[in-house]
Amino acid sequence: MEMNEQKQADGNWMGSWFASQTYYDGKFAKDRFEDQTIRMVVHPHAYGSKIRLKFSNLYGSEHVIFGKVSAALSAIDGRTVPGTSRHVTLNGQSTVAIPAGEAIYTDPVDLEVNEQSDVAISVYVPESTRASTWHFSPPQSTYVSEGNRTDDSGADFFRKKIHSYYWLSGIPNNCLPPMISAIIFILAMRASKH
């Protein structure tokens, strides 16, 4: 079940990235996070000026609480591009809560994404929280720091590297409809010939 689904239905939102979720497996997944920031790097496959984040607690038996969430353009080795960090909210609130067995979409985030962009999603987990819903072996590395480092663009505190996404299951963005994109492309091609 997905919370606030109407938000996703309103406007021209398209799924640009997703990760299948599985239940906790002690052989591969980290057991718990507490007073830590998880920075997950993804590469969207559709482009636009706004994104939303989809978080899933499908296999959880308790609420998952993020004290703060940010989205930024990713650089390398856990760094983000200075000046691109955006505060992510849910219903206008900084704290993001995901009920057990459900998924949520965040509010829209103003972040320009193009075909070269990687996006770094940083979530701060303040209380001891079981890593119940996750995705194994993403193509990008995930970085972990102690404390709330969601707004840090540097990598000094993100020294631990793991290879899983936690709770992050999708990134829709507000890409243009295919017909409008085609018209813009044709007009641009015509303009280039003059």
| Chain-centroid distance, C-alpha 114 | 15
Residue 138, pLDDT score: 63
What pTM does this model have?
Answer: 0.84
Distances (CA, A) of 69 to 53, 65, 112: 10, 10, 17
Q: Which residues contact 193 (CB under 8 A, 6 or more apart)?
A: none
What tokens does 11 get? Answer: 């406007």
**pLDDT at position 22:** 85
Phi, psi (5° rounding) for residue 20? -65, 145
What whole-number distance in Å separates Cα of residue 109 and Cα of residue 86? 7
Q: How far apart are CA 88 and CA 169, in angstroms?
A: 15
pLDDT at residue 15 in the model: 86
Q: Which of the residues in the chain have pLDDT under 70?
A: 1-11, 25-29, 137-138, 176-194
Confidence (pLDDT) at 184: 41
The per-residue pLDDT for 136 is 80
- First CA to last CA distance, the chain: 53
- CATH number given to 5-192: 2.60.120
**Token couple for 93:** 């609130």
Taking a C-beta distance cutoff of 8 angstroms, is the pair 61, 100 a contact?
Answer: yes
